[in-house]
Amino acid sequence: HQKGFTDELIRDAGLAKMDEKRGTTTQFWNRVMFPIQDINHRVIGFGGRIMGDNDSGPKYLNSPETEIFDKSRNLYGMNYARTARTGNIILCEGYMDVIALHQAGFTNAVACLGTALTQEQARLMKRYTDEVVLSYDSDEAGQKATRRAMQIFSDSGLKVRVLQLRGGK
């Protein structure tokens, strides 16, 4: 209320839910929160990562889709990557990967929003680059996602490279 947001708006945005017994509660309790911005730097949703090993619930949790938050049409970090002027975009698995790469100077890094790569996301990247560097984990799930993403990028007319990091997940 302090910032002028009504309970109804907070609930509709998926940041809290009403419960008769407990009142207003949030599923983002004890999570690191990541604001998700569109390409014009407007916050359109939130992602949360669980803090402790003993906490219940999924490791990552996004706010639900709304009129302005469509996970299949946005990418985490794209608001910065689109102006990086590096000639390519690095596609990572998650928020923490994007943040680490941005801190290291790779401001062309982006990630999907808790879903597999979509054609719409590939088209969004195509607006700003002709080449994508895939930087998924090297585990079996990451390799499967890499093969799937290579096909989507190929269908979208994007050149694809795969970054192989030795000694890490």
Q: Report pLDDT digits (tens) over 112-151.
A: 998 889 999 999 999 999 999 999 988 888 899 999 999 9
Is beta strand 89-92 parallel, antiparallel or unpaired with respect to 131-135? parallel
Inter-residue contact 110 to 91 (CB < 8 Å): yes
Element (H, E) at 142: helix 140-155
Average pLDDT in the chain: 90
- Give yes or no for a contact between 125 and 109, defined as CB atoms under 8 angstroms apart: no
Taking only the tens of pLDDT, the chain with its 169 residues reads 577 888 888 888 878 888 888 887 888 888 899 999 999 999 999 999 888 777 777 888 898 898 889 999 999 999 999 999 899 999 999 999 999 999 999 999 999 998 889 999 999 999 999 999 999 988 888 899 999 999 999 999 999 999 987 766 5
Give the tokens for residue 121.
């996301």
Percent of the chain residues topping a pLDDT of 70:
98
Q: pTM for the whole thing?
A: 0.88
